[in-house]
Amino acid sequence: MAHRLVAGKLKAGEVAVDATAGNGHDTLLLAGIVGGEGLVFAFDVQACALAATGKRLMEQGLDKVVSFCQRGHENLAEVVPECHHGRVSTVMFNLGYLPGGDKSRITREETTLSAVGQALAMLKAGGLCTVVCYPGHPGGAQEAGAVSRFIEALDPDGYRVERHEGENRLNDPPFLLAIEKLSSG
């Protein structure tokens, strides 16, 4: 669903951010759309995640489109050069742990909230931020709840927020928060 929304919004030549690169599926989507004229910043705190992402992108000849940042996404505003602030078209978050990796290296409430706030500030008018939340793992429900409350409280004149969730899934299924920054925001 996040991929569908991003594909409907992001255009060639634009600037995008993958705030949780992981195995690189989201980075690949973003880089494939923005192409050689665009730019993607891919963040992850784990070297193995960025290596997996780099390999995936290289296989598709898209690694040159990506700036790989081994920093926490809570440093977003510091790492992404100021010339892009207010011009970013799409930011994607996929929270939780790296599939097939170290389950203790999860995203955390405090840094996630800081990063989402910075991401929204960095979006251009009409830009999109997607956040996939996973309430199922230890600590995940707390983080997902905090992110939901933060996003629900956004000024409706500045942001349009949608929540997407499977209706027939059991056991704390993941849900997607999609935030569009409105022109007046």
List residues near ligand SAH by CB under 6 A.
20, 22-23, 25-26, 43-46, 49, 72-74, 94, 96, 98-99, 105, 107, 111
Q: Of 72 and 135, which has the nearer Cβ to ligand SAH?
A: 72
Q: Please tell me the distance from the alpha carbon of residue 138 to that of residue 140, in angstroms, as a whole number.
A: 5
Q: Of 20 and 89, which has the nearer Cβ to ligand SAH?
A: 20
Q: Of 41 and 43, which has the nearer Cβ to ligand SAH?
A: 43
Q: Please tell me the distance from the alpha carbon of residue 146 to that of residue 131, in angstroms, as a whole number.
A: 12
Q: Kindly state the tokens that stand for 122.
A: 């960095």
Residue 73 CB, nearest approach to ligand SAH (Å)? 4
Are the beta carbons of 173 and 165 closer than 8 angstroms? Answer: yes
Residue 14 CB, nearest approach to ligand SAH (Å)? 19
Residue 2 CB, nearest approach to ligand SAH (Å)? 9
Residue 96 CB, nearest approach to ligand SAH (Å)? 6
Q: Of 35 and 139, which has the nearer Cβ to ligand SAH?
A: 139
Residue closest to 52 by CA, chosen among 27, 87, 79 = 27
Q: Of 72 and 174, which has the nearer Cβ to ligand SAH?
A: 72
Q: Please tell me the distance from the alpha carbon of residue 74 to that of residue 20, in angstroms, as a whole number.
A: 11
* Cβ-closest position to ligand SAH: 22
Which amino acid is located at 112 in the chain? Answer: T
Are the beta carbons of 13 and 39 closer than 8 angstroms? Answer: no
Residue 9 CB, nearest approach to ligand SAH (Å)? 18
DSSP labels, 36-92 = TTSEEEEE-S-HHHHHHHHHHHHHTT-GGGEEEE-S-GGGHHHHS-GGGTTTEEEEE
